[in-house]
Each structure stands twice: as C-alpha cells, then as structure tokens.
Amino acid sequence: MERMKKRIILAMSLCMFLSLFTFPANVLAQNESYASGFETKEELIKFLNENGVPKSKQQILINKVEDNEKWDCYDREKLKFIPSSFYVFNPHDGSQTRYYRFEDGSFVKVETQLQDKIKIDGTKKSKDLLKKKIKDKKLLNKILLQNSKITESNNSDMPISTYGYESGSGYAYYWDWKISKRVGSQSAWFYAEFCNVDKGADYIEPSGCYGGEVRGFGKISDKEITVTREKEDTYRSRFALARLSWTANYDISTPWGGGSIGGGTFSLYLGVGNDTFYVNDRLPYK
C-alpha cells in the first residue's frame, strides 16, 4: 500500500514537471496559420465567399491547401493565358472590379475604385471645383489653363496651345483613384492622381500618389511609390508611369512580377496613356 502511494505521488510530480515545458494547444494555434495569408480555415472560406467562388471550387482549393499543392493562380504558365486587355481600363467607365478565374476556382483580381473626378470643359462650375479641390497653386494654374478653351487658327503657321480643351473632348482630372491587384493571398494597392488629355499627352501628378500597402509577402522593407515618367511619351508610345515597390526579406515562391523565387523586389505599376490606364505587376510594354 505504501509503495502504491509513492508511485502515485511520483507520477503526479512528473506530470507537473513536464507541464512546465509544454505549450497549451491554443498557444500553438496562435502561432501557426492555416494557409498563407489566412489564420484559419473559416477565414479562407469567408474570403472565397466574398469573391464569388462556388462551393464546389472552394473544396478543391481547400484540398489543395491541406495537401500542400499550389493554386492555379500561382502557376506562372497559366498566368500567361490572361489577355493583356484584362489590365487596361477606360477611366470614363468609373470604378471596376475584374476577375480572371482559373479551373480550380482561384483567381487574379484587379480593382480600380474612383473617389473623385472633375470634367475639364471650360465651364464656371469646373473652374470653381478645380479651385476648391487643388491646393497646390502651381498645379492649379496648370489645370486652369487646361480648363480654358483652345483657340484654333486657320493659319497653319500658328501652333495650337499645348494647354486647353477641345469641345466635346471629355478631358478629366481624377483624384484618389485606388488601384489594386490580388493574386491568391497576395495583394498590393496605392492611390493615384492623373489627367487624361484628349489627343494629347496624359500625365500623373506625383504629389497625388500615396497610401501604398502590401499584404501576403511576410515581412517587407523599402516600400515606396515613385513616378518614373510623369508625362506620357506619345512619340515613343510610352505611358506615364508610377510604381509601388517593396522588398520581401525571406524566400518566397510567387509569380508576382518584378521579384524572384528567392525573395527580391516586387512592384505594382500604374500606366496612364492613350486616354486609358493600366494596372499590373509588370510594365505596360515589353
């Protein structure tokens, strides 16, 4: 009997000792995510529902996650089938959300959300709106010149002003246009300000590009927005160009353009030209 008591006491002491070195299950769960970009299975399902993925396709994607297989949207070869027109937008169409969906239900999503615009048509209304909206005096004077009607001359030796609008041209100045791209759990976005100039060179306003954010690349550094070409080069067919760039500081396998499988620098580009704009992780020309 005495020997049995000693054994019980020894077993209890051993359990208490081991418990000092054992993490509770919920602590381990807090440090392990279900999938890249999603802490839990429920969070992944919510994301798929929000983006219109059918239930049958959701199960395929969940199975791939649990079997450690990559989704189609991460396959570089399959991404090549997305047409270039998918990334080009007409600003007059306003906010748009586009999906390119793959066989397994995964997708690439490009979204443009327009916050504000002013049509440049020479009216007092547009002039007053421009004065109210633009605080930079130098920029305001530039746009007000564009808001003045061009005076054309029958004399071929008399050049037409580079500023001003032509009747019915549909010039417009756009503010706080959020552009974003998502591939699976990875996404990036920023806000931009630009002007479409009918039959002329479109341009990006550098001071109006801000708010760059990145998700799904782990710990990043060197995040910045730069305007590498402020004005469209119509002669060489080169868009005005803004770029959000960042560096992933660990090995990451992703088809996102601008980087490499072993980490590196990644990008999201805004190209403005030909009265359109372009949103993608690669340059708008080869």
pLDDT in tens, the chain (286 residues): 555 555 555 555 544 433 333 222 222 233 355 666 788 899 999 999 999 999 999 999 999 999 989 899 988 889 999 999 999 999 888 899 999 999 999 999 999 998 877 777 778 887 888 888 777 777 778 777 777 765 443 344 433 344 454 444 557 778 789 999 999 888 999 999 888 887 778 899 898 899 999 988 888 889 999 999 999 998 888 999 999 999 887 666 667 765 555 568 899 999 999 889 999 999 887 6
Q: How many Cα neighbours within 13 Å face the side chain of 273?
A: 20
pLDDT for 109:
97
For residue 92, give every residue at least 6 positions away whose Cβ sits within 8 Å of its Cβ, in sequence order, or none. Answer: 170, 172
**Cα gap 161→251, rounded to integer Å:** 53
Query: Minimal CA–CA distance to 109: which of 140, 87, 136?
Result: 87
pLDDT for 169:
55
pLDDT for 260:
53
φ and ψ at residue 53, rounded to 5 degrees: -85, 125
Count CB neighbours of 133 within 10 A.
Answer: 14
pTM recorded for the entire structure: 0.75
